[in-house]
Structure 1
């Protein structure tokens, strides 16, 4: 079962791909708006599981300008975490 965060992440990633495939800026505008709506929904929703947190981390890595920033580093750590118990 997919959570709202996971569904919005799938929508954001697919709209980002579609946006870059369009030949003109005007043709990619609906995809860009769809990405923005999905991104805002993900930012508002609280992550309740590790999968939700990893979905948020994927979007952080997708949208970050500086790959060596603290946010990107934390996102990579979250994606590497498997949820093992000691």
Structure 2
């Protein structure tokens, strides 16, 4: 069964991919808005399982501006601990 965090993570990742495939900014705007909505939904929800925590870590790495930030480091640690790849 897919949790709300996992569903929102899948929506965010697919809309991010679709956004970069569009030729113009206006074409990618709807995908960008979909990404923001899904990201906020994941951000507000609490992770109750390791799978949910792994999904949150993937989104943090996707949106992190600095790869050496504390958040990105913790996200990599979570993914390493749970056996997932970044």
Query: Hey, what does 2:40 align to over in structure 1?
Result: 40
> Runs of 5+ in structure 2 lacking a partner?
none
Query: Hey, what does 1:67 align to over in structure 2?
Result: 67
Q: Over aligned residues, Cα RMSD in angstroms? A: 0.9
Q: What are the Cα deviations for residues 38-74 of structure 1, in whole angstroms up to 9, with x where unaligned?
A: 0000000000000000100000000000000110000
Which structure has the bigger radius of gyration? 1
* Structure 2 Cα separation of the partners of residues 13 and 71 of structure 1: 19
Aligned length: 83
Query: Hey, what does 1:76 align to over in structure 2?
Result: 76
The runs of 4+ residues in structure 1 deviating greater than 3 Å are none
The CA deviation at 1:82 is 2.6
> Runs of 5+ in structure 1 lacking a partner?
none
